[in-house]
Structure 1
Amino acid sequence: MNTTEKGDALEIAVFNLFEAQIETDRFFARKDCCRIFRRKGYYSEKRKANIIFDISIEISFPGAPNYSMLILIECKNYAKTVPVDDVEEFFAKVEQAGVANTKGIFVSNSALQSSALNYCKSQGMGVARYFDGQDLKWELQRSASASFAGHSAGSALEAYLGLTRPEYRSSVFELYMHSPHGATNSLNTFFEDLVFHGLAKNAPLHRLPRSRAKRSDMVPYLKLEELENIAHEALTTIGTNADIEPVDLEQLCAHHPAAKGLKLIRTTAELDSSLNHPLARITFEPLVIELFELPGSSSGRNRFTLAHEIGHLLLGHGKYLKAEWRNESDNENIEGFQDDGTALRRMEVQANYVASCLLMPRALVSKAFYEQIQIRGIQNKGFGLLFVDSQECNLNNYYSVTSQLMMQFGVSRAAVTIRLAGMGLIKDARKKQTATPLIEALNRLTKIEVNLD
């Protein structure tokens, strides 16, 4: 793809995102007040000719013949950071083509130099950095930037890092933005801040009809027994002899209605210097699960990865997700069934738990667990049969029991621990390592609350 084609692709992607926001009445102003264009010309008195802008949005009062607000957008694809000269040039064109109540937005796929960001802030311009959906960890059916409504310091800091750090990679947001009021991940917050910046309190535009699209958490909360039932019903389509041999996940893919048309691909991946290798990618249209198997990787980890993606299918998460990447750290940092109420976290937790239920049917796990408890003479000392803390005797019990279950069911220790915890058969009292303030701050940046309304 040459430079022109890359620029066109960025322009089309941004146009489609904004158009969808307007058409679904999720833009800050009602859709009957907005018209969006590509490559429309606006007259410049200095040039005595039109200046063509990549994207423009005209905002008017219902029934009015002329627009009351004009938003002009330029999209630039860069291989390096955005210099101040380019935003200055764009602002000069906005000034020529616009009259009162005209705002400019500069969109790039690259980070901005600090001088460029400072110039945009000083001129009341908007600026945004776009991340292609193919590169996101979670690609949502509806834009995360359009659904996000947070105003926390953490989200503002994340947005600022996304705008200014060349090496930054987004997990879910297509846009990181900066209005005259500051950095944000929320598209509506960005437009509201930009449009109303500098307007007098009694300005007519404050009476512009606003969008009132209903917001609701569309990812339903499911109890553990409901997740268990989903997995159990799926297993009945193939039968299981997991007490003799591990559950055949490929048979499940071949026979379950939720996996109809699924293409399952296994790709041998090469080890590199990355500490977080991709393990799998699922796309829902077309329906494809690609597993990236590393040399020497454990079959238990590979099986849990596949079961996790199957869990998304059984739970109908294609309604919310276009695609998902699963990385090595996702399997190593499984927290099981702790649902914090956020949409992305909820989907991941649900898929993890369904995966553990698929790989380890309840009755068989219970039978195998109690056999191991009896064989090893483990006694309940008031904390539960399998209690694990930092004491050597309790750690030995934990590792010996879980190791046997790992071998029997062909799964990882993390998957066994999830399953036992969900069944109330283990109590883990090991102390978590205390994080430094910096690590805690970075962790907060990853806790993204996205309302998939």
Structure 2
Amino acid sequence: MNSTAKGNKLEDELFKYLIDQKDRGDRVYDLYPSDLCKIRKKPKYDCPERKKPVEFDVVIEVYREGRKTPHSYVVFECKNYKSGIPESRVTDFSDKMGRIFGHSVKGILVVSTRLQSGAENIARSRSMGIVKLNDTGLDVVADRRQWQTVESAFVKSQIFEGENDVKSLKFSAYFDGRFFSSIGQLLECFGRDADGKQSSGVSRVSVPYISPDDIRAFATEVLEGVDYKAGAVDLKAVCAAMSLKLKFSRKNVFDEDGMLILGSANFDRNSIEINAHDNGFRERFTIGHEIGHFCLGHGCYLRSETVIERDLLVDAEASESFDITRLEVQANLFASEIILPDQVFRIAVEVGRKRLDMRDIGFGGIYVDDNPWTYQPYNQLISDLSQYFRVSREATEIRLKKLGLVNDQRKYGDAGANLIGRIFANIQT
């Protein structure tokens, strides 16, 4: 795809994003109803200086009640670059806007990937906004009623390159030293500035903590609704009972960092889409994860959500975690509860333990260390439970440990146990 085609694709994404917001009736500038705004793609405006029309990528024209001419303009310039935008392009864009609109305009550079930190200085010197938009990632509007909804540090990490990768947002923006997680927030800032008013500075409400017991209660209620008794949970039936549309795509979809996107959820459409998986059991956990977002009311904080592999491994919050991490932890806890239901799982563990003659000799009902005579039956138990519930071995072992059913004293992990097991087998033969 050449640079022009890439730029057009980004323009299409931005235009659709804005039209969707307008169709939802979101207020622009925090004051003007969406029906007083016109969103135009590839509009041309007369330029007396050049004596010919000048074209822009996407423009929002904002009208006051009863007026036929725009009160102000928000002009977007789409640059689908892999690195920082050259200063000359910023200057050209700024000059072009000045010739057409004078001072009644706000200019925004739209990019598809993170920028080098030098772009911040360029944006400041030219009074430009920077927006990152791509066709994957999270569409976060959390909490939708609040002025600032996602931590500034998290949004900053979306736009400028840093040491650590974080989960991608679909939309993030920077303007005048502030960071925004939705276009509504950004336009609200422009509108207040244009009217000479300051931001109201409403404080952000964090995503609330939900206890594991409450998450278990939610999952139990869902399972009762589909009359679950034992074995692998019918996740398609769960989706149907919750009026969720479950779709499967066998395509490989990647985010901007090259990570495989396992699935996605759209909260406005009540839909879940699952992409290609190399493991059917992991696919079930992905479905359970997405169902968890819906069941736990995460639609209050997200309009869309994507799952990559590392999301399924998040089981605890660090002190510096973002709100999005809390949402992922909650969704994973729910997935574990609904795919490995508490009471049935405990019964299955006890049946498996007795069948494998795993006796309590003072160290607990399930004890494992690096010796093959403890590791081998433990390994078999995990395999049996994995097959019975149709969930990955990793998720099964995490569940055992979370419920406190295992006394794991291994020093070398699976690799060490397998090595010792092979040595022991050779000695026996």
TM (normalized to structure 2)? Answer: 0.67
Aligned residues of 2:45 and 2:55 also touching (Cα < 8 A): yes
Q: Measure how far apart 1:258 and its partner are.
A: 0.3
Measure the CA separation in 2 of the matches of 1:275 and 1:429.
Answer: 37
Q: Measure how far apart 1:354 and its partner are.
A: 2.4
Measure the CA separation in 2 of the matches of 1:252 and 1:189.
Answer: 36
The answer to whether 1:406 aligns with 2:386 is yes
C-alpha spacing 1:101/1:349, structure 2 compared with 1 (3 Å): same
Q: Which residue of 2 aligns with 1:306?
A: 287
Q: Measure how far apart 1:280 and its partner are.
A: 3.2
Measure the CA separation in 1 of the matches of 2:88 and 2:143.
Answer: 31
Unaligned 5+ runs, structure 1: 197-203, 434-453
Measure the CA separation in 1 of the matches of 2:160 and 2:24.
Answer: 23
The answer to whether 1:231 aligns with 2:234 is no
Q: Measure how far apart 1:6 and its partner are.
A: 3.8
Aligned residues of 2:148 and 2:202 also touching (Cα < 8 A): no
Q: Which residue of 1 aligns with 2:417?
A: none
Q: Measure how far apart 1:230 and its partner are.
A: 2.3
Deviations 1:37-81 (A, max 9, x none): 445888866458886754256699x999x999x554133354776
Deviations 1:343-380 (A, max 9, x none): 43333223322222222232222233345556322345
Q: Which residue of 2 aligns with 1:199?
A: none
C-alpha spacing 1:110/1:403, structure 2 compared with 1 (3 Å): closer
Aligned residues of 1:6 and 1:77 also touching (Cα < 8 A): no
Q: Which residue of 2 aligns with 1:415?
A: 395
The answer to whether 1:174 aligns with 2:171 is yes
Q: Which residue of 1 aligns with 2:263?
A: 280
C-alpha spacing 1:36/1:250, structure 2 compared with 1 (3 Å): closer
Deviations 1:140-190 (A, max 9, x none): 4669998545344x653542129xx9xx9972241343x454877686897
Q: Which residue of 2 aligns with 1:246?
A: 232
- Partner of 1:127: helix, strand, or coil? strand
Unaligned 5+ runs, structure 2: 414-429
The answer to whether 1:265 aligns with 2:248 is yes
Measure the CA separation in 2 of the matches of 1:43 and 1:67.
Answer: 15
User: Which AA in structure 1 matches 2:290?
Assistant: E
The answer to whether 1:74 aligns with 2:72 is no
- Which of 348, 365, 376 is the matching residue for 2:358? 376
Q: Which residue of 1 aligns with 2:96?
A: 93
Q: Which residue of 1 aligns with 2:134?
A: 131
Measure the CA separation in 1 of the matches of 2:299 and 2:390.
Answer: 27
- Partner of 1:161: helix, strand, or coil? coil
Q: Measure how far apart 1:226 and its partner are.
A: 2.3
Q: Measure how far apart 1:12 and its partner are.
A: 1.9
User: Which AA in structure 2 matches 1:91?
Assistant: S
C-alpha spacing 1:348/1:120, structure 2 compared with 1 (3 Å): closer
Q: Measure how far apart 1:110 and its partner are.
A: 6.0
Deviations 1:403-450 (A, max 9, x none): 3432333322332234334434346788999xxxxxxxxxxxxxxxxx
- Partner of 1:74: helix, strand, or coil? strand
Measure the CA separation in 1 of the matches of 2:251 and 2:75.
Answer: 43
Q: Measure how far apart 1:205 and its partner are.
A: 7.1
C-alpha spacing 1:205/1:56, structure 2 compared with 1 (3 Å): closer
- Partner of 2:59: helix, strand, or coil? strand
Measure the CA separation in 1 of the matches of 2:203 and 2:19.
Answer: 21
User: Which AA in structure 1 matches 2:159?
Assistant: A
C-alpha spacing 1:105/1:364, structure 2 compared with 1 (3 Å): closer
Q: After superposition, where does 1:188-207 map in structure 2 within 5 Å?
A: none
The answer to whether 1:292 aligns with 2:276 is yes
User: Which AA in structure 1 matches 2:274?
Assistant: E
Identity of aligned residues (%): 23
Q: Which residue of 1 aligns with 2:59?
A: 55
- Partner of 1:172: helix, strand, or coil? coil
Figure out how many residues of one structure are paired with residues of the other and give that number.
398
C-alpha spacing 1:176/1:108, structure 2 compared with 1 (3 Å): same
User: Which AA in structure 1 matches 2:392?
Assistant: S
C-alpha spacing 1:228/1:372, structure 2 compared with 1 (3 Å): same
User: Which AA in structure 1 matches 2:243?
Assistant: A
Aligned residues of 2:77 and 2:93 also touching (Cα < 8 A): no
Q: Which residue of 1 aligns with 2:419?
A: none
Measure the CA separation in 1 of the matches of 2:258 and 2:103.
Answer: 52
Measure the CA separation in 2 of the matches of 1:221 and 1:265.
Answer: 31
Q: Which residue of 2 aligns with 1:442?
A: none
User: Which AA in structure 1 matches 2:156?
Assistant: A
Deviations 1:252-278 (A, max 9, x none): 44xx52035x344363879xxx99544
Higher normalized contact order (CA 8 Å, seq sep 6+, divided by chain length): 1
Q: Measure how far apart 1:89 and its partner are.
A: 2.0
- Partner of 1:216: helix, strand, or coil? coil
C-alpha spacing 1:83/1:306, structure 2 compared with 1 (3 Å): same
User: Which AA in structure 2 matches 1:104?
Assistant: G
C-alpha spacing 1:172/1:430, structure 2 compared with 1 (3 Å): farther
